[in-house]
Chains A and B, each alone.
Chain A
Amino acid sequence: MLRGLTALDLTDLRGQFASRVLRDLGMRVIMVEPPGGNATRKSGPFKADAPDGDSSLRFAFLNGGKESVTLDIGRAEGRELLLQLSEHVDVVLESFLPGHLADLGLGYDVLKRQNPRLVVASITGFGQYGPYSGYLASDIVGVATGGLMYISGDSSLPPVKPPETQAFYLGSLFAAYGVLLALFARESTGQGRYVDCSIQESVATQEHTIREAAFDGAVISRNGSQHKNVAPASVFACRDGYVYLFILGADHWQSFLDLWADHPPELDGDELKAPHRRRALVSKLNPLIEQFTRRYSKEELAALLQDRGVPCLPVNSPREFLEQEETRQREFLGPAFSQGLGEYFAPRLPAIVDERPPADAGGPPRCGEHNSLVFGEWLGLPPAALELLSAQGVI
């Protein structure tokens, strides 16, 4: 859908999911890596645990299907080449600390003068201004300061972060949306825009925690998997694993009791038809329900309840999820290839456009793989000039 649009991607782990998604929707993405390679290349897990060459699976996931050029933008020649490249693209994505690009003479005002149609997006921990804007944000800092960690995990244990780098992914998703809004506006104004995306704020949009504290006076804290307003809505043990059971409406509650033929009679009371009433009794209710759920395997219980319209799904490991027949039927995985990883299967952004299967993820580029293509074709640099720049360490 984004065919014909091109982005220069100067980001690190903070922003690479943004260009990942834009690329999946058809945008051409060219990574601009420092001559030593983007730091994500050194981030595990690695194929066969061998952290050499092009074996980072994190890099492969985030950067599959992108192109790569190398450029030392800290040097005058590198800066000049970046400015020239920016004339050929629609979007520049970056995730440096605020002010870094401006210090290099590559701030938004400079880029905009070079190409007024350019959309520039910054993805940073705390945004471009405000008292924390110079703070360092690793992912765990993002999920902590954005409020997601405080409500996550068992109440008897310290707060726990979600897997991978979800704060960075969320910030990247919002940034991708901001980029597309700005591109859409450009269609009528002819002018690009600057997008300031804060990772902390991207996390803080979630779970109503601000409104509940400020307006309802309720500070939500960790409570395992138990939903804050609904019951039963939690993880329950089965014979061979766990399910997540979520019962909201009175009809679902009744269907659940029907399946549980020998349920305690006190559960039949009218007052338990309302989810918030059940929620108030959750410490009594959940252990009773678990006596029932333990009679079944997780697959069996989910199927029995879903046949009655009651939302219940097994708790899967990622491996179990991939092994589901339905995951295969939905064509979530597709083939990919890179020199470092060989042929492999990779997850695909599940956007089924006009009934076509999702776009393949694509293999990750080697560092600088597209130098001669991009510098040669766009900027008209002859091979000798490229060799000289390479010898000087600029590319």
Chain B
Amino acid sequence: MSSRFLSGLRVVTLGTGIAGPLAGRMLASYGAEVFKVESRAGGIDAFRTYGDDLDASPRFIEMNLNTRSVTLNLKTSLGVKLFKELVGHCDVVMENFRPGVLQGLGLSPRDLLTVKQDLIIVRMPGLGSVGRQASYGTWGPTLAAYCGLTYLWNHARQDRPVGSQGVYPDYVTAVMAPIVVMAALLARKRTGEGTVVELTQVDLAAYMLGTTLLDVLVNDRDPAPTGNASLHAVPHNCYPCAGEDRWCVIAVENENQWRALCSVIGQPELVGDERFCRTLQRWHNRSDLDALLSDWTAQHDASEVMRRLQAAGVPAGVVASGMDLYTDEHLEARGFIQSVRHPVLGEVPLAGLPLQFDTASHETFRSPPPLGADNSYVLIELLGHTRADLERWEREEVVY
């Protein structure tokens, strides 16, 4: 069976970087026709500019797979008019500009709903649309810092907050936006009406800390970082393995797993050791326990630690690098990584999406085309303008 569930659906996206574009890829990968609108007049996706060739940025390609490319200069009134014409042929608009930017162009949700009354509009402002900070500029790492994620993502008792070099909030938004689009589409089947949804990125990231927030709200606490520890599972940590910067995590969640672990590391006598006889005792003596486990893990390859412990029923996993993932036999067996063919770059291996429907049905990978490559498809075939119009608008830097 096909997994082109969204065949026939048309989507316009305005966005840059990860959150907005990846949300578009999520819809395009299941058959939606996604028009990514950019402009050389100050509206190029930042990821295109990470290299010398706007059309051959691997990072841009990864985030925008399967989408179409249209250039419209929204700083001109004709560009805005053509954008509205395109919206009139679409079901969904997604954007993550700062609040007020689209309103200023005459493209507020109300303006767009006038064009098409059953339109679904999803906005993704960083800090929402009310209050002094709504106008602030944000990128994923600043939002992680603001909501508490960076502070909590650390070993215990460190001097400085560290977090990750990544952009976690972008990925959360990139999945939540298509979830909301699908919910609105299902509602539209029932009601026939359009919907405007605002997803505030910082609150989405904070929602991923909901348990911690309840600890603040209900217990009046100020939760601190706890690193790799767990109150319910001991040992529960990251252990050095043979080789440079090689690690394996181990998580023992019950007494059966503890006994199995002792057996695998060749120290069955530890089962009777009163320092380690229950989770609570292991918690109090966890530094002894971690030292003892590290002595064993350091003698073995990380993948061997994982394999031997998992074979004995103990949760364990390699702390995988990008190269580990690329060469992972399991991911290969599942077809998670595929290559996209690009005219300049050749074959580019990329992570897929983590969903399979029925048996092994995968998204197809198609490189986004060069900037503006779908202009004639959109303006002539879809909107019914003439080639002469298009050429004039290109010269006038409207389709630009």
| Residue of chain A at shortest CB distance from B334 | A130
Asked whether any CB of chain B lies closer than 8 Å to the CB of A69, the reply is: no
**Whole-angstrom distance between the Cβ of B351 and the nearest chain A Cβ:** 5
A322 contact from B179, B180, B213, Cβ within 8 A: B213
Q: Is A244's CB under 8 angstroms from B355's CB?
A: no
Q: Is A174's CB under 8 angstroms from B353's CB?
A: yes
Segment at the interface with B among A72-80, A265-273, A309-317, A373-381? A309-317
- Chain A residue numbers with a CB within 8 Å of B162 are 153-154, 160, 224-225, 235
A161-B228, A326-B128 as given contacts; A313 in contact with B321, CB under 8 Å: no
Q: Is A225's CB under 8 angstroms from B321's CB?
A: no
- Chain B residue numbers with a CB within 8 Å of A322 are 213, 216-217
Residues of chain B in range 189-228 having any CB-CB distance to chain A below 8 Å: 189-190, 195-200, 203-204, 206-219, 221-228
| Residue of chain B at shortest CB distance from A173 | B175
Interface size class of chain A, counting residues whose CB lies under 8 Å from the partner chain: 35 or more
Asked whether any CB of chain A lies closer than 8 Å to the CB of B178, the reply is: yes
Asked whether any CB of chain B lies closer than 8 Å to the CB of A132, the reply is: yes
Consensus secondary structure, chain A interface: mixed
B334 contact from A198, A227, A229, Cβ within 8 A: A198
Asked whether any CB of chain A lies closer than 8 Å to the CB of B296, the reply is: no
Asked whether any CB of chain B lies closer than 8 Å to the CB of A144, the reply is: yes
**Whole-angstrom distance between the Cβ of B304 and the nearest chain A Cβ:** 14
Q: Is A314's CB under 8 angstroms from B146's CB?
A: yes
A159-B247, A321-B146 as given contacts; A211 in contact with B179, CB under 8 Å: no
| Residue of chain B at shortest CB distance from A341 | B218
A188 to B350, CA, bound (A): 32
- Chain A residue numbers with a CB within 8 Å of B5 are 181-182, 184-185
A21, A153, A314, A320 — most chain B CB neighbours (10 Å): A153
- Chain B residue numbers with a CB within 8 Å of A131 are 329-330, 333
- Chain B residue numbers with a CB within 8 Å of A138 are 233, 236, 251, 253, 315
- Chain B residue numbers with a CB within 8 Å of A302 are 136
Q: Is B137's CB under 8 angstroms from A310's CB?
A: yes
A180 contact from B46, B147, B186, B240, Cβ within 8 A: B186
| Residue of chain B at shortest CB distance from A333 | B217
Asked whether any CB of chain B lies closer than 8 Å to the CB of A93, the reply is: no
Query: How many A-B contacts at CB < 8 Å in the complex?
Result: 475
| Residue of chain A at shortest CB distance from B1 | A193
A153 contact from B155, B200, B214, Cβ within 8 A: B155
Q: Is A311's CB under 8 angstroms from B218's CB?
A: no
A235-B145, A243-B145, A321-B148 as given contacts; A209 in contact with B321, CB under 8 Å: yes
Interface string of B340-372 (1 = CB under 8 A from A): 000001001111111111101000000000000
Asked whether any CB of chain B lies closer than 8 Å to the CB of A295, the reply is: no
- Chain B residue numbers with a CB within 8 Å of A319 are 148, 216, 221-223
| Residue of chain B at shortest CB distance from A315 | B145
Asked whether any CB of chain B lies closer than 8 Å to the CB of A259, the reply is: no
Q: Is A184's CB under 8 angstroms from B143's CB?
A: no
| Residue of chain A at shortest CB distance from B26 | A177
A131 to B171, CA, bound (A): 27
Q: Is B322's CB under 8 angstroms from A209's CB?
A: yes
Q: Is B160's CB under 8 angstroms from A242's CB?
A: yes
Q: Is B179's CB under 8 angstroms from A227's CB?
A: no
Asked whether any CB of chain A lies closer than 8 Å to the CB of B167, the reply is: yes
Asked whether any CB of chain B lies closer than 8 Å to the CB of A99, the reply is: no
Asked whether any CB of chain B lies closer than 8 Å to the CB of A53, the reply is: no
Q: Is A223's CB under 8 angstroms from B161's CB?
A: no
Asked whether any CB of chain B lies closer than 8 Å to the CB of A2, the reply is: yes
A194 contact from B130, B206, B249, B358, Cβ within 8 A: B358
Asked whether any CB of chain B lies closer than 8 Å to the CB of A11, the reply is: no
Asked whether any CB of chain A lies closer than 8 Å to the CB of B313, the reply is: yes
| Residue of chain A at shortest CB distance from B214 | A57
Asked whether any CB of chain B lies closer than 8 Å to the CB of A214, the reply is: yes
| Residue of chain B at shortest CB distance from A119 | B357
A21 to B204, CA, bound (A): 11
Asked whether any CB of chain A lies closer than 8 Å to the CB of B139, the reply is: yes
Residues of chain A in range 25-47 having any CB-CB distance to chain B below 8 Å: 25-26, 43-45, 47
- Chain B residue numbers with a CB within 8 Å of A227 are 141, 165
Residues of chain B in range 271-323 having any CB-CB distance to chain A below 8 Å: 306, 310, 313-323
**Whole-angstrom distance between the Cβ of B52 and the nearest chain A Cβ:** 11
| Residue of chain B at shortest CB distance from A154 | B162
A348 to B357, CA, bound (A): 30
**Whole-angstrom distance between the Cβ of B393 and the nearest chain A Cβ:** 28
Q: Is A173's CB under 8 angstroms from B176's CB?
A: yes
Interface string of A97-113 (1 = CB under 8 A from B): 00000000000000000
Q: Is A214's CB under 8 angstroms from B337's CB?
A: yes
A318-B151, A347-B207 as given contacts; A44 in contact with B355, CB under 8 Å: no
Q: Is A153's CB under 8 angstroms from B164's CB?
A: yes
Asked whether any CB of chain A lies closer than 8 Å to the CB of B396, the reply is: no
- Chain B residue numbers with a CB within 8 Å of A371 are none
A214-B322, A220-B322 as given contacts; A201 in contact with B155, CB under 8 Å: no
Asked whether any CB of chain B lies closer than 8 Å to the CB of A136, the reply is: yes
- Chain B residue numbers with a CB within 8 Å of A355 are 196
Asked whether any CB of chain B lies closer than 8 Å to the CB of A394, the reply is: no
A208-B62, A233-B141 as given contacts; A316 in contact with B148, CB under 8 Å: yes
Asked whether any CB of chain B lies closer than 8 Å to the CB of A145, the reply is: yes
Interface string of A106-131 (1 = CB under 8 A from B): 00000000000000000000111111
Residues of chain A in range 198-217 having any CB-CB distance to chain B below 8 Å: 198-202, 204-216
Q: Is B175's CB under 8 angstroms from A354's CB?
A: no
**Whole-angstrom distance between the Cβ of B132 and the nearest chain A Cβ:** 7
Residues of chain B in range 1-26 having any CB-CB distance to chain A below 8 Å: 1, 3, 5-6, 26
Asked whether any CB of chain B lies closer than 8 Å to the CB of A6, the reply is: no
A47 to B46, CA, bound (A): 45
Q: Is A195's CB under 8 angstroms from B180's CB?
A: no
Q: Is B161's CB under 8 angstroms from A315's CB?
A: yes
Residues of chain B in range 221-243 having any CB-CB distance to chain A below 8 Å: 221-228, 230-233, 236-238, 240
* 17 other A-B residue contacts (CB within 8 Å) besides A169-B208, A244-B144: A62-B211, A129-B333, A140-B238, A145-B318, A150-B319, A181-B3, A187-B186, A193-B357, A194-B357, A195-B356, A201-B351, A212-B322, A219-B323, A228-B165, A326-B133, A351-B176, A352-B198
Which A-B residue pairs are the 5 nearest by beta carbons? A213-B322, A209-B322, A201-B354, A318-B148, A350-B203
Chain B contact residues, CB within 8 Å of chain A? 1, 3, 5-6, 26, 30, 46, 50, 58-59, 62, 127-128, 130-139, 141-155, 158, 160-168, 171-172, 175-176, 178-180, 182-187, 189-190, 195-200, 203-204, 206-219, 221-228, 230-233, 236-238, 240, 245, 247-249, 251, 253, 306, 310, 313-326, 329-331, 333-334, 336-337, 345, 348-358, 360
Q: List 30 A-B contacts (CB under 8 A).
A: A2-B186, A60-B214, A61-B214, A62-B211, A137-B315, A147-B321, A147-B322, A152-B164, A153-B155, A160-B227, A162-B153, A163-B153, A164-B211, A171-B354, A174-B355, A177-B355, A181-B5, A181-B357, A201-B353, A205-B354, A211-B62, A229-B50, A244-B144, A313-B138, A317-B151, A321-B206, A326-B127, A341-B218, A344-B218, A353-B195
